[in-house]
Structure 1
């Protein structure tokens, strides 16, 4: 009894020692770590962009560009192949995903089909599984018309291939900026996420990423004046393009490219030796050099155009053949402009346009402020929880605090080992874990006290207390873990960081409560040999309480129903103050360089930019302001244009500390995943509780949880707090916390149903709630203190999140008593089912004895 084997003791403290070694580099600077011995770990937790500053940009591959390009290619292939087969045709055109051509000679219709048959040949998609996809289908229409159609699977294949190619191009472009540890990853079927820590110029990054950079060299068409081509119609083989000058200059250029950017092997920014102006020097490969030499030999005296993304950079006259395979591009560049063009040309062209659909940028100054706020809140929260446990549990509280310290170290070690990114909501997850971590210890300690009150010796009470608390703790923490897992898979960015931290915290909490606390208590018992519970434990005032909770159930249940109905009505009539995550738009946090921020001046200046509704409000201190722009009508590109206008208007006087832009396509996705996340979490928890308990318990838990969700939404309606993506994280965490509390009470009810078979159900529920009241109050109190520190000192950015959590702790405690309990009475949960279980077990025991 209270025995811990040597190998288990060694395992516990080896785990703690390794955790300390892995986590300790996080408290030292990079310079200090360089002086560490080589055998010591030096890896640190990666800070999220909201803590170290940087840019998060989500790019969307424009599917329409892929369709258009494939359509033009197929139209060109149809033209070429029919001409090669000497088949006359007319009316060749392509619209949407359809191409049609009319064969003039009906006798050649079969030959035309044969000539175009190669276009319908399935294309191998490669990969481990192999397979192929048909990109084009063909059918014969009336009057000699052939119809070809681009298939959806074929387009999907082209989009997937283009996205893979785009990621490589994006990676090369970002690497050229010289940034450290950029993250570039695919998301979904048509999106790329780019995260660049420490980037100070997000505008330059966006300019590099959403520029296609298709370079071509074409001859200028001098067969007619460009003004005539604009006013009438250009020749079939030419088109009018405009220069990058201001004002733009039109050029009539041939559609056929002499040479394209695919043949470039190098491009570098340099200075022209004659004019000392920035230029871009380029060099072709052998094939490109040969073609360029041939083209310049044949066109001496004629101008040719250097075209980038359908804009003429320059149009010099060919004075003499260029035989060396190299040249230079001039076009009134700035030094940075020449550098950026060289980067684009070296990295290669994108196969399609990439549109910025989401942008989140944090300046380094705000990142440091967030770190300071998070550390302050964490320290104060930890001190509050430590003092709280010492006040109520004395010696046992000291053991819980030692386990809590080890818990935090293990969380940091796990985050370091798995390479997870620590975000500001992640710090909130650690603070929340501090509050909830003592829950397991409280459950164990109160079980020990209960067994001791029932007449058992202290050593027996400790042993049985740990064993009886185990199932309850696992049940309670698994419900929170389900919510955290759903958050991880359906969340993104900071929300996912919160889910990772919370999940790790749940696992480490269970470990420290059942291994370290048990070991500490066993060592304490052998050292002190006490006969009774230490007098320093001060939770005895909860004993022998006989509060008639169920006597007030009808009034409280009715009040909860009224509030819930009012919340639903308010939700659908008044509505919530939705953040940009759900309705699109922009949030910009600025800080004036001198003096105080003039909100009225900001509103007046921005209202003249025709950006729709503009809000400006104080944020944090007097020098900071938060600007909100409504979602723009023109889609993602309009959002970026609006942000550029605001920058142009304010950046002379203000520093842009944080920028968040969410386009309509992303906001729709976030709304869908948020709703799905809450539904999936509720379903998962329902299934788990149904499996572990009876159906009435599962139903009661879900009704209580729905009450908490509805009440929280009503609170957002009433207070006008912004409801954003972190608010969804808060709701899912409230679900986990509330169910944690409910499961503890239900577990005691189930135990009492087997023990007191004749007791009326309402009396039994009151007895169960009173028996677990100390745990309910103490856990709620410790969690509330930790969250309060986060709310007061954690900063404005996560204030709405912590506000929701604070309210959730209160309402979750209420619902586990006044909602979860009465539901069991309403659905007539009786002990008969438990009697049957006991009878079956008795029959089995009798059968065994008879055998």
Structure 2
């Protein structure tokens, strides 16, 4: 709880940019696993995309093996069919490839006879979709996705810059691959609800990334003459400043989606909800991760080759090196030369009188030197330096060291008659 409190009070900072190679490795492993699953395992396409027929009828104590035997009896390959036993409604849901009208009628009669369905016309629901219609839906979905990505790329290039748009598009593709890869690994059917959910999470992922990039732009504005932070440091600060907002937004979005997935589809058995809920749940989590750990560090790598960013980083490093040398000189001067003023150049500092000697090298008495106890620069005898204000005698009242006692107190230049 203390860590969460520090995070919400902005007392905790994460080095997102400095550890970007670690995040790249994590993203690379996720993308590789998901891509291999999509290539070798494939997807379980719903009837809307693959075409075919769906039969749903009461089970009445029947088994899945009985359904498979009836499919084989009517010349239907069971490897291309999906048989599901819905426990909550005690029904079978059988999805087959595209059938002729004669095959559909014969299979409906066999289901009614073997599973004791009293009223086949009402109790057996049959839905048929042609393969051409499914392919049309698939192509339209792909076209809509491409148009969406192009429009977003153009908008981000105008609103920010093309490198920010490229980083946002890379994060978007990252989220697409991860979401569809999880669908392939889990084996859920890809339905029109899945397409709707994917488009929804793409918008959410872009929203989170745009919020972070807008803060990055604010932090890096006017840095051409600054020497306080490098571009990577300013970007990392922007990430930490928007971290709490991103986590709050993601958490609020994940709670109802998790309810749909785990309560609605898992506990209540509402199978139609799982297609929508799984894509949204995985997409929101992946979008939050990519905005913080992938898109912004990638932006730093894209920007680091720009001349302005190179000049800024070099200027900041020079300023820090100069400050470090000045601090080191100050520390060494304070420890080894106590007579010199702090911050003064040791080569030009005027040494103080040696307290153990009776006279200085120039023949003057050490008592005539102003500032001997305070460590100030030595002032020549007779100079009007305002010594009276610092505890010394005025120059007009000092005794000349070479005068005879008889000459003391007599004005200079006048002879006694």
TM exceeding 0.5: yes
- Structure 1 residue 831: Cα displacement: 9.8
Q: For 1:646 and 1:700, locate their aligned partners in 2 and report how far apart those are by CA, in whole Å.
A: 53
Matches within 5 A, 1:511-522: none
Secondary structure of residue in 2 paired with 1:682: helix
| 1:820 paired residue number | 295
1:799 paired with 2:264, answer no
- Structure 1 residue 657: Cα displacement: 6.6
Secondary structure of residue in 2 paired with 1:551: coil
1:643 paired with 2:108, answer no
| 1:599 paired residue number | 64
| 1:557 paired residue number | 24
- Structure 1 residue 544: Cα displacement: 2.5
1:545 paired with 2:34, answer no
Matches within 5 A, 1:513-532: none
Secondary structure of residue in 2 paired with 1:549: coil
| 1:664 paired residue number | 131
Secondary structure of residue in 2 paired with 1:586: strand
Matches within 5 A, 1:255-404: none
Please tell me whether the aligned partners of residues 51 and 131 of structure 2 are also in contact (alpha carbons under 8 angstroms).
yes
Please tell me whether the aligned partners of residues 674 and 728 of structure 1 are also in contact (alpha carbons under 8 angstroms).
yes
Secondary structure of residue in 1 paired with 2:18: helix
Q: For 1:692 and 1:822, locate their aligned partners in 2 and report how far apart those are by CA, in whole Å.
A: 20
1:788 paired with 2:258, answer yes
Secondary structure of residue in 2 paired with 1:617: strand
1:378-416, Cα deviation, whole Å (9 max, x unpaired)? xxxxxxxxxxxxxxxxxxxxxxxxxxxxxxxxxxxxxxx
Q: For 2:92 and 2:57, locate their aligned partners in 1 and report how far apart those are by CA, in whole Å.
A: 5
Secondary structure of residue in 2 paired with 1:589: strand
The alpha-carbon distance between structure 1 residues 647 and 714, as it changes in their structure 2 partners (threshold 3 A), is same
Q: For 1:543 and 1:755, locate their aligned partners in 2 and report how far apart those are by CA, in whole Å.
A: 24
| 1:709 paired residue number | 176
- Structure 1 residue 832: Cα displacement: 4.3
* Number of equivalent positions: 289
Matches within 5 A, 1:678-717: 678-717=145-184
- Structure 1 residue 611: Cα displacement: 2.5
- Structure 1 residue 561: Cα displacement: 2.0
**Could you say which structure has the higher strand fraction?**
1
Please tell me whether the aligned partners of residues 620 and 796 of structure 1 are also in contact (alpha carbons under 8 angstroms).
no
Please tell me whether the aligned partners of residues 167 and 299 of structure 2 are also in contact (alpha carbons under 8 angstroms).
yes
Please tell me whether the aligned partners of residues 599 and 616 of structure 1 are also in contact (alpha carbons under 8 angstroms).
yes
Matches within 5 A, 1:742-757: 742-754=209-221, 757=226
1:315-359, Cα deviation, whole Å (9 max, x unpaired)? xxxxxxxxxxxxxxxxxxxxxxxxxxxxxxxxxxxxxxxxxxxxx
Q: For 1:552 and 1:611, locate their aligned partners in 2 and report how far apart those are by CA, in whole Å.
A: 55
Secondary structure of residue in 2 paired with 1:621: coil
Q: TM-score, normalised by structure 2?
A: 0.64
1:810-846, Cα deviation, whole Å (9 max, x unpaired)? 111000011111221221166949x9xxxxxxxxxxx
Q: For 2:251 and 2:150, locate their aligned partners in 1 and report how far apart those are by CA, in whole Å.
A: 29
The alpha-carbon distance between structure 1 residues 810 and 620, as it changes in their structure 2 partners (threshold 3 A), is farther
Q: For 1:803 and 1:625, locate their aligned partners in 2 and report how far apart those are by CA, in whole Å.
A: 23
1:766 paired with 2:236, answer yes
Q: For 1:681 and 1:620, locate their aligned partners in 2 and report how far apart those are by CA, in whole Å.
A: 40
Q: For 2:126 and 2:274, locate their aligned partners in 1 and report how far apart those are by CA, in whole Å.
A: 18
- Structure 1 residue 658: Cα displacement: 5.0
Q: For 1:760 and 1:587, locate their aligned partners in 2 and report how far apart those are by CA, in whole Å.
A: 61
| 2:367 paired residue number | none
**Larger Rg, first or second structure (1 or 2):** 2
Please tell me whether the aligned partners of residues 597 and 622 of structure 1 are also in contact (alpha carbons under 8 angstroms).
no
Q: For 2:53 and 2:231, locate their aligned partners in 1 and report how far apart those are by CA, in whole Å.
A: 54
- Structure 1 residue 760: Cα displacement: 1.7
- Structure 1 residue 780: Cα displacement: 0.6
The alpha-carbon distance between structure 1 residues 808 and 542, as it changes in their structure 2 partners (threshold 3 A), is farther
Please tell me whether the aligned partners of residues 172 and 202 of structure 2 are also in contact (alpha carbons under 8 angstroms).
yes
Q: TM-score, normalised by structure 1?
A: 0.32
Q: For 1:657 and 1:770, locate their aligned partners in 2 and report how far apart those are by CA, in whole Å.
A: 57
The alpha-carbon distance between structure 1 residues 676 and 539, as it changes in their structure 2 partners (threshold 3 A), is farther
Please tell me whether the aligned partners of residues 615 and 629 of structure 1 are also in contact (alpha carbons under 8 angstroms).
yes
The alpha-carbon distance between structure 1 residues 540 and 560, as it changes in their structure 2 partners (threshold 3 A), is closer
Please tell me whether the aligned partners of residues 571 and 714 of structure 1 are also in contact (alpha carbons under 8 angstroms).
yes
Q: Which has the higher contact order (CA 8 A, sep 6+)?
A: 2
1:389-447, Cα deviation, whole Å (9 max, x unpaired)? xxxxxxxxxxxxxxxxxxxxxxxxxxxxxxxxxxxxxxxxxxxxxxxxxxxxxxxxxxx
| 1:75 paired residue number | none
2:142 corresponds, among 665, 672, 675, to 675
Secondary structure of residue in 2 paired with 1:545: coil
- Structure 1 residue 714: Cα displacement: 1.1
Q: For 2:127 and 2:294, locate their aligned partners in 1 and report how far apart those are by CA, in whole Å.
A: 39
The alpha-carbon distance between structure 1 residues 627 and 596, as it changes in their structure 2 partners (threshold 3 A), is same
Q: For 2:195 and 2:28, locate their aligned partners in 1 and report how far apart those are by CA, in whole Å.
A: 23
Q: For 2:209 and 2:129, locate their aligned partners in 1 and report how far apart those are by CA, in whole Å.
A: 37
- Structure 1 residue 620: Cα displacement: 4.5
Q: For 1:596 and 1:755, locate their aligned partners in 2 and report how far apart those are by CA, in whole Å.
A: 74
RMSD between aligned residues: 2.5
1:565-597, Cα deviation, whole Å (9 max, x unpaired)? 3322332222111222222112233234xx445
1:485-504, Cα deviation, whole Å (9 max, x unpaired)? xxxxxxxxxxxxxxxxxxxx
Unaligned runs of 5+ in 2: 312-417
Secondary structure of residue in 1 paired with 2:232: helix
1:572 corresponds, among 29, 39, 49, to 39
1:100-153, Cα deviation, whole Å (9 max, x unpaired)? xxxxxxxxxxxxxxxxxxxxxxxxxxxxxxxxxxxxxxxxxxxxxxxxxxxxxx
| 1:119 paired residue number | none
Secondary structure of residue in 1 paired with 2:82: strand
Please tell me whether the aligned partners of residues 264 and 273 of structure 2 are also in contact (alpha carbons under 8 angstroms).
no
The alpha-carbon distance between structure 1 residues 788 and 656, as it changes in their structure 2 partners (threshold 3 A), is farther
The alpha-carbon distance between structure 1 residues 598 and 683, as it changes in their structure 2 partners (threshold 3 A), is same
- Structure 1 residue 690: Cα displacement: 1.1
Unaligned runs of 5+ in 1: 1-537, 633-637, 836-851
Please tell me whether the aligned partners of residues 708 and 812 of structure 1 are also in contact (alpha carbons under 8 angstroms).
yes
The alpha-carbon distance between structure 1 residues 760 and 597, as it changes in their structure 2 partners (threshold 3 A), is farther
